[in-house]
Amino acid sequence: MANKTHLALLFGGDSSEHDVSKRSAHNIYDAMDKEKYDISLFLLTKKGIILSNEASHRVFNGEPEDDVVKEEMSKLDFSDPLAPIKNLSEVKDIDVFFPIIHGNLGEDGTIQGLLRLLHKPYVGSGILESAMGFDKDITKKMLNLANVRNTNYQLITPDNKDEWSYAKLQAKFGDVIFLKPANQGSSVGIHKITNEQEFEDGLKDAFRYDYKILAEQSIDGPEELEISILGNEKPIASKLGAIRVPKQDKFYTYDNKFVDASQVIFDIPVDVSTELSDEITDMALRAYKALGLKGMARIDFLVSKDDVPYLGEVNTLPGFTNISLYPQLWESSGISYTELIDRLIDLAYAEFDRQSNIIHDFKPLS
């Protein structure tokens, strides 16, 4: 087929979601129509070095990553400040990028800034929008401005941590509290707190991942519902899905999501009232627009026993693993995996064209 689109998959990263990103990249690669796309691969290592297309393919095809990275690192001249991204010299031939780096560097606006500097279209939200969606504290502030219901929280930082104890938070939020790093994903660093010792231990662990920690009010007997959003200025929403975690687990953990999901039940689409479905869809679309998101997002909700939905988190680069909900929800809504990839790439081009039409070199009218 003539005039194939040359697409680059960016995956990996330096976060705890490195291996998840690799699995997402495999699934996206497998789902893409090879008659439409030539695909290059760029693995971002755990040390923040972008490997060449050839080396990334070697890891992709099963060679031990550590061995490939060690070999490739020896070829780079680190006296050159551009050494970490030197392998992106191939970008001149690339039409569009698909970043699927979960967590730090991928969802926080970093890679988006690099791609803007390279003047290349890319899938997903822009720099500011990604950063706001990744930071749970900023997300909540934006949700509150848009009157989108979410759980109450207290921000804890190294500067004010001595002012807070489990007893103080208990008086403010009740017996059960969740601690969450503001800038982290996949349930990493999250702790369910019911006493002072758990608070001290959980806070110490959460600070390993970020300097901002949310102490969040819990919802009584919550059901976790998910919705997928697709689009730019006029986004659409999928049907709803639900996650049922094993009774012995306190919440939907990293292991549930990516290591052993054998006991997790995915109810897609979930049978809920029309009223609840409509309310969650409206809240999700309003949140998406309030944050200025583009391309895609999976938005997580907690629904209380009395059917009141609270927006939990926004995921601007959701997982595409075999058990990830973002593509599953669209599949149940009538959009296949392959069509979903095509739509995301079309949206990337549309946003790039929109940005390109903005006047940056302003000259006053005479």
pLDDT at 186 over 80: no
Mean pLDDT of the 358-364 span = 67
Q: What is the CATH number of the domain that holds 108?
A: 3.40.50.20
225 and 211 part of one domain:
no
Mean pLDDT of the 357-364 span = 69
227 and 340 part of one domain:
yes
Higher pLDDT pick, 45 / 250: 45
318 and 242 part of one domain:
yes
37 and 102 part of one domain:
yes
Report residue 252's pLDDT band, with 50, 70 and 90 as the boundaries: very low
pLDDT of residue 259: 47
Summarised one tens digit per residue, pLDDT across range 123-182 is: 999 999 999 999 999 999 999 999 999 999 999 999 999 999 999 999 999 999 999 999
Mean pLDDT of the 325-342 span = 96
Say if 37 falls within a structural domain.
Answer: yes
- What percentage of the chain reaches a pLDDT higher than 90? 79
Report residue 265's pLDDT band, with 50, 70 and 90 as the boundaries: confident
What is the pLDDT of the chain when averaged over all its residues? 91
191 and 230 part of one domain:
no
Mean pLDDT of the 235-240 span = 98
**46 near 18, Cβ under 8 Å?**
yes
226 and 211 part of one domain:
no
Q: What is the pTM of this model?
A: 0.90
Going by their DSSP bridges, the two strands 96-99 and 5-12 should be labelled as parallel
DSSP state of 34: T
Q: Which of 228-242, 263-277, 309-323, 349-363 has the lowest mean pLDDT?
A: 349-363
pLDDT of residue 212: 96
Q: Which of 183-192, 215-224, 260-269 has the lowest mean pLDDT?
A: 260-269
Higher pLDDT pick, 271 / 1: 271
225 and 329 part of one domain:
yes
Say if 318 falls within a structural domain.
Answer: yes
Name every residue whose Cβ is closer than 8 Å to that of residue 214 and which is 6 or more positions away in sequence: 136, 137, 140, 153, 154, 155, 156, 178, 179, 180, 181, 182
27 and 60 part of one domain:
yes
pLDDT at 213 over 50: yes
Q: Last residue of some domain: 81, 104, 122? A: 122
Say if 73 falls within a structural domain.
Answer: yes
Q: What is the CATH number of the domain that holds 176?
A: 3.30.1490.20
Mean pLDDT of the 346-358 span = 94
Summarised one tens digit per residue, pLDDT across range 78-97 is: 899 999 999 988 888 999 99
Query: Containing domain of residue 308, as a range?
Result: 220-354
pLDDT of residue 365: 60
Strand residues in the chain grouped as ranges (E): 5-12, 37-44, 96-99, 153-156, 177-181, 191-193, 213-217, 223-231, 236-244, 265-267, 295-303, 309-315
pLDDT at 251 over 70: no
Mean pLDDT of the 68-86 span = 91
Say if 213 falls within a structural domain.
Answer: yes
224 and 345 part of one domain:
yes
Instruction: Based on DSSP, count helices (H) and strands (E) in the chain, helices before strands.
Output: 12, 12
Length, in residues, of the chain: 366
Say if 366 falls within a structural domain.
Answer: no
Q: What is the DSSP string of 302-359?
A: EE-TTS-EEEEEEESS---STT-HHHHHHHHTT--HHHHHHHHHHHHHHHHHHHHTS-
